[in-house]
Amino acid sequence: MQASAVEIQKVNKHFGPFHALKDVDLSIPPGRVTCLIGPSGSGKSTLLRCINFLEPYDSGEIRIDGRLMGYDAPGRKMGGRALREMRRSIGMVFQQFNLWPHMTARENVAEGLIRVRGMSRADAATRAAAALAKVGLADKMDNHPSRLSGGQQQRVAIARAIAMEPRLMLFDEPTSALDPELVGEVLSVMKTLASEGMTMVVVTHEMGFAAHVADRVAFMERGELVAADTPAAILHQPQDPRIQSFLRTYHERNSF
Amino acid sequence: MDLLQQYGPALLRGFGYTILCWALGTVFAMALGLVIALSRHYGPRWLGWILQIYIEVIRGTPFLVQLFVLYYGGPLIGLRLDALPAGLLGLTLYGSPYFAEIFRAGFRAVPLGQLEAARAIGMTEPAIVRRILLPLSMVSALPALVNFSIILTKETVILSIITVPELMYQVSRMSAETFRFVEANLVLALFFWGLVEAISRLGRRFESRVTKHLIERT
Ligand SMILES: Nc1ncnc2c1ncn2[C@@H]1O[C@H](COP(=O)(O)OP(=O)(O)OP(=O)(O)O)[C@@H](O)[C@H]1O
Ligand SMILES: [Mg+2]
């Protein structure tokens, strides 16, 4: 058994009085795709955002390649420099893309290389071009986001993350804001990434993606991590009634 | 015509001072406003409260009063300034809270996700401010910044009270000496109209350049 890329233990998170994550335990195996599914408001985004500490968790531990995320010691937050250092190796892709609208596709990708990796403009531009070519956008490099379709914007966002050469990629519903006909192009980029052995955590409502690409599927409900297992075990022979009911609703909604 | 020959140079010099006071005053006030807005955004809560009080006090009192206090009251606490520096300092202090509030509103209009994207790749907060927060806040803030800069042009006339030799000062002198109030004030109006027109044109050009890619294509 290989060490986990991310080891989440007894993580709790409150928003005021609201208990958003309840003693969440989860191991993310390296080089694999883990999908997080569950009903709306179950805490999937919150858990994902705790992994790169965009959302500080209250208690428990999140270890990335063995190193505690966000804290020097329990209760004592790490300094900005150490936090940035850890975030450098974690890429994140958001539902709303979150590209910087005043920069071209290429500038979006190059920005982190210049500011965070300290690369020269020329090197960053070359690397950015390569990352954009990889997601099939070699011909759109000089477009601003406003001149790109949703699917293209999301692929730029993926290029922006992978150009930093992360060891771990987090996706928060990367296709939920897309028109149905644009979903495929984004998923196929993600599949390529998965086939290259990238460690990925994907919050998704695309059960097809979870079934076919994921190595593990974790199900959350009301802030609890109910089960984490193979896609077949979760999606085809779910034991827990909460998963059964979630899947029933999903199938009803998606049948016509 | 003799009138123009006699007073023309002084009026022009006055106009030069007006532009100088306006330009420097605006730049300083904007810079101080930005510092205040950033301090409220990133600083500790007690600092936010102090700055809030500063903003309320300055916005709640007339510029004329502030200038009097600064120029005539200053020496009482050892702050002895010439008219011009006092005027510039006055304009800076007077304008800064308005600019601070404009920047603050601009910051709030920047979608959080675009800042999080920058944090997620490990950018430092100063880099995020410079590269993401400020440029994006300009979408909503720039028209208001230009607008308040225009308002400041007219506040410069108050500097004549503390004998800064700007346009209003020269115009008052001319009318007092010649009793040609109408002509003198016509000159004043024309000069200001030209200045304001130039600033708003510049502002619009700048605005369309900055927001070129920021307005969503529909
Ligand atoms: N910043 C916040 N402040 C207060 N409550 C929050 C905040 N962020 C999330 N929550 C609450 O925490 C719960 C979990 O939210 P989260 O976004 O993690 O759900 P999710 O599983 O990602 O849902 P969805 O599928 O709709 O994206 C929700 O009830 C939400 O209202
Ligand atoms: Mg979510």
ipTM of the complex as predicted: 0.91
Partner residue opposite A116 with nearest CB, options B123, B125, B136 = B123
Distance CA A74, CA A153 (A): 38
Find the closest chain B residue to A79 by CA distance: B124
Tell me if A116 and B121 make a contact (CB, 8 A cut-off): yes
Number of domains present in the structure of chain B:
1
Exposure on the CB side of residue B160, measured as CA atoms within 13 A: 16
Identify all chain B residues contacting A94, using CB atoms and an 8 Å cutoff. Answer: 113, 116-117
Find the closest chain B residue to A165 by CA distance: B121
Residues with Cβ within 8 Å of B216's Cβ and at least 6 positions away in sequence, in order, are: A146
pLDDT single digits (tens) B118-155 = 999 999 999 999 999 999 998 889 999 999 999 998 88
Partner residue opposite B132 with nearest CB, options A80, A90, A100 = A100
Identify all chain B residues contacting A101, using CB atoms and an 8 Å cutoff. Answer: 114, 136, 213-214
Tell me if B122 and A99 make a contact (CB, 8 A cut-off): no
pLDDT surpasses 90 at B117: yes
B45 in contact with A, Cβ within 8 Å: no
**pLDDT over 70 percentage in chain B:** 97
Name the average pLDDT for chain B.
Answer: 88
pLDDT surpasses 60 at B216: no
Q: What is the 3-state secondary structure (H, E, C) of A188-234?
A: HHHHHHHHCCCEEEEECCCHHHHHHHCCEEEEEECCEEEEEECHHHH
- CA proximity to B114, closest of A119, A210, A141, A145: A145
What is the full per-residue pLDDT of chain A (256 aa) written as tens digits? 568 899 999 999 999 999 999 999 999 999 999 999 999 999 999 999 999 999 999 999 999 998 999 999 888 899 889 999 999 999 999 999 999 999 999 999 999 999 999 999 999 999 999 999 999 999 999 999 999 999 999 999 999 999 999 999 999 999 988 888 888 899 999 999 999 999 999 999 888 888 888 999 999 999 999 989 999 888 888 888 899 888 888 888 877 6
Residues of A with CB under 8 A from a CB of B: 52, 54, 80, 84-85, 87-88, 90-92, 94, 96, 98-102, 111-112, 115-116, 144-147, 157, 160-161, 164
pLDDT single digits (tens) B90-107 = 999 999 999 999 999 999
What pLDDT is attached to residue B1?
A: 59
- Pairs of CB atoms within 8 A across A/B: 75
What pLDDT is attached to residue B218?
A: 40
Number of the ligand closest to the Cα of A21? 1
What pLDDT is attached to residue A182?
A: 87
pLDDT single digits (tens) B1-14 = 577 778 788 888 88
Distance CA B181, CA A106 (A): 61
Partner residue opposite A147 with nearest CB, options B131, B132, B217 = B217
Parent domain of B207: 2-217
Distance A234 CA to ligand 2 centre (A): 20
Chain position carrying tokens 């986001």? A145
- Helix (H/G/I), strand (E/B), else coil: A255: coil
pLDDT surpasses 80 at B48: yes
B134 in contact with A, Cβ within 8 Å: no
Interface probe for A, chosen from B112, B119, B121 (most Cβ of A below 10 Å), is B121
Exposure on the CB side of residue A225, measured as CA atoms within 13 A: 23
> Distance of CA B138 to CAs A102, A210, B102, B141, B211, Å?
11, 41, 10, 5, 8
Exposure on the CB side of residue A228, measured as CA atoms within 13 A: 18
The reported pTM is 0.88
Distance CA B25, CA A50 (A): 46
Which ligand 1 atom is at minimum distance from the Cα of A47? 18
Question: What is the domain-level CATH number for residue B143?
Answer: 1.10.3720.10
Helix axes B181-210, B2-42, angle to 10 degrees: 40
Distance A47 CA to ligand 2 centre (A): 9
